[in-house]
Structure 1
């Protein structure tokens, strides 16, 4: 069989409008490979998918197929089908595996031990720090960090894995030839050079809200576990966690302040059975029974701990009033009796030392 002809048949199947994943799988189960589907009679195709067969028998989406084949001919570009050896085998255990995956980068990395790290787009400075440090520690241990290239926690997770010299995979909700959000263009280039970017959507697909929950099922399905770092109760990260639980993956969550909206999603997950974790070692300890001896012992894993504070800072009355949830400047003035200029000068010292973060609205949050 000509490889291009075989791939062209897979692309024709997936690029035909109105033939979704369920219909594709029913046709493959009934007929075999895509070339056999298109060699079948109209009557037999109607028997499998009903009236949708008429769309399959109409003029093929030749321009879209040729465009995809031309894209796949470029270095570092790959289109994986359900029968490819590099297709993530763990995804085949899920109820809705994509029929094809577009991959920019190294497709061999998709079948390694993957762990998803996801969370809020509007993350706090502490949340971003946790994402970078947990991802970096786990990447150093050989885990491939999977996330969705979104702003906030996703971006920090990818950055943390790359900074640690590890591998990261980005599953996106657009066509593989688009980067969303645009400000992550440089990060996407780094991910493609050190890992892979993955999409099930045809080339040119823009950022459509309904595509991101579908993207999330791939993040959950190709990972051994999902770690949620900050999530509001309406967060899409909870969708990823739910999908992970439905396909038997472990779900982990980092707790936060009971007053923080960004912690409430994680607290809900923990109430529903997610594993509460405080260090990267906790994640590996839970996953080790699933993996057996596939990874080194967790005894050497560096726990994620806050950095040492500068001498004398912890004894400051002002630092004692700063919590891990935002505090306004007005509250600090009222609590300390100091004037605004004195407090701002001290806060600037703390920020330069990496002990606190300044937030919009004259609010401040402790990082240590």
Structure 2
């Protein structure tokens, strides 16, 4: 995206309570850029609420500018959207994928095979040791360790990966200019050098309780599987495990003592069918076919998941759709083939994706279902 289109997309993404369905309806009426010349009465006419109109007319420009200033202030910072080839392929698959990701560090790490490690903030010494040890052994298997930068298990997992000279990704429940918890600022700086910090929240956003469940769906969405080291009966780790199940990811659990209240939730996951593991090799064996497929055929791992049918009757944007096949095609190639401006191609692809006709993968777009 150029800066003009990115600014418009960020403003939409930041608008309070604006659903993906509403975004689709807006883009079916007008181009992304033209929408931001609308008056308050025009916004009202297309169905926006008064607080949304107030935000777009008064607050959006400032918050978008702050985000762009953060982007330009330092090298190694990125703002990516579902239109970008660098958007993580696994994250593209989830139903609630973020409209924007702020990334600081090594962007390519987001598309490498990952295992999430999550657990209690008040973890026992044994669980801290397990998180650290498992993380170190997982990166030796060429896996990236993903977690949430929280105290306890998260922090030990990140540190274990780094000390084993591996890569790790931290997904935050705050903006990247507001590292939380503050005592992990040094850890965050190490992660930037050997992995990436990721957030869907604008850089200056402060941590809020409602941010952390949203963060958890990204942790699981980026990963092939989630390892729960220790989780109490009511734990954010259980939310991550639930998201993983909904996203068709594997859930692994290290069993804990029945006398430890911090293990009630994780032991219950095992009762419900999660995979009990006692060493890293059990995780690798379970994911072996997926790991081999990612390593040997990184550009074709999704091609066989979708049917290609011939009928194009009543399909939207038939000219664009005719140029999307079973091989990933980048946006600029589609624009060149169809002689449609890149901005318009991106908007049409968004509608096609929302309606289930195409899917974004690493390297571009492929056809899906009736498409």
TM-score computed with the length of structure 1 as normaliser: 0.74
Q: What CA deviation, in whole Å up to 9, does each residue of 1:197-255 have, x standing for no partner?
A: 00011122112111100100100111100000011111110000001000100000000
2: CA distance, partners of 1:27 / 1:135: 44
75-84 or 7-16, larger mean C-alpha shift: 7-16
Deviations 1:95-117 (CA, angstroms, capped at 9, x unpaired) = 11110111111111111101100
> Distance in 2 between the 1:146 and 1:295 partners?
18
In 2, are the aligned partners of 1:12 and 1:60 still within 8 Å (CA)?
A: no
Sort the Cα spacing of 1:102 and 1:156 in 2 relative to 1 into closer, same or farther, 3 A.
same
Shift of 1:27: 3.9
Indicate the residue corresponding to 1:126 in structure 2.
126
CA contact (8 A) 1:176 1:197 kept: yes
Q: Which residue of 2 aligns with 1:153?
A: 153
Partners in 2 of 1:265 and 1:220 — Cα distance? 17
Contact 1:116–1:146 (CA under 8 A) maintained in structure 2:
yes
Is 1:13–1:56's contact at 8 Å kept on the other side of the alignment?
A: no
Is 1:34 matched up with 2:42? no
Could you say if the C-alpha distance between residues 269 and 61 of structure 1 is closer, same or farther in structure 2, counting changes exceeding 3 Å? same
Match of 2:287 in 1: 287
- Determine if contact 2:147/2:170 at 8 Å carries over to the other structure: yes
**Which SS does the other structure have where 2:264 is aligned?**
helix
Query: For 1:134-161, what per-residue CA distance to the aligned partner results, in whole angstroms no more than 9, with x for missing partners?
Result: 1110111111100000000000000010
How far apart, in 2, do the equivalents of 1:248 and 1:10 lie? 29
Q: Secondary structure at the match of 1:238?
A: helix
2:267: which partner in 1?
267
Give the CA deviation at 1:23: 3.6
Unaligned runs of 5+ in 2: 297-371
Distance 2:31 2:106 in 1: 25
Counterpart in the other structure of 2:217: 217
Matches of 1:27 and 1:165 in 2, distance apart?
Answer: 47
Residue 223 of structure 2 aligns to a residue whose secondary structure is coil
Give the aligned partner of residue 12 of structure 2. Answer: 13
After superposition, the Cα gap between the structure-2 partners of 1:43 and 1:149, relative to the gap in structure 1 and judged at 3 Å, is same
Contact 2:132 2:159 in 1 (8 A): yes
CA contact (8 A) 1:14 1:20 kept: no
Aligned in 2, Cα 1:111/1:31: closer, same or farther, shift over 3 Å? Answer: farther
Q: What is the SS of the residue equivalent to 1:66? A: helix
Question: Per the alignment, in what secondary structure is the counterpart of residue 78 of structure 1?
Answer: strand
Aligned CA distance change for structure 1 residues 39 and 284 (closer, same or farther; 3 Å)? farther
Aligned length: 294
Residue correspondence of structure 1 range 134-173 to structure 2 within 5 A? 134-173=134-173
In structure 2, distance between residues paired with 1:261 and 1:57:
47
1:252 aligned onto 2:252: yes
Mapped pair 1:181 → 2:220: no
Q: Distance in 2 between matches of 1:203 and 1:239?
A: 24
Q: Does 1:115 align with 2:119?
A: no
Q: Distance in 2 between matches of 1:32 and 1:138?
A: 47
Measure the CA separation in 2 of the matches of 1:275 and 1:44: 53
Q: Could you say what secondary structure the match of 2:255 adopts?
A: coil
Deviation at 1:46, TM superposition (A): 6.2
Contact 1:16–1:56 under 8 Å retained in 2: yes
User: TM-score when scaled to structure 2?
Assistant: 0.73
Q: Which residue of 2 aligns with 1:62?
A: 61
Determine the C-alpha separation between the residues in 1 that align with 2:24 and 2:156. 36
1:22 touches 1:96 (CA, 8 Å); kept in 2? no
Which structure carries more relative contact order (alpha carbon 8 Å, separation 6+)?
2
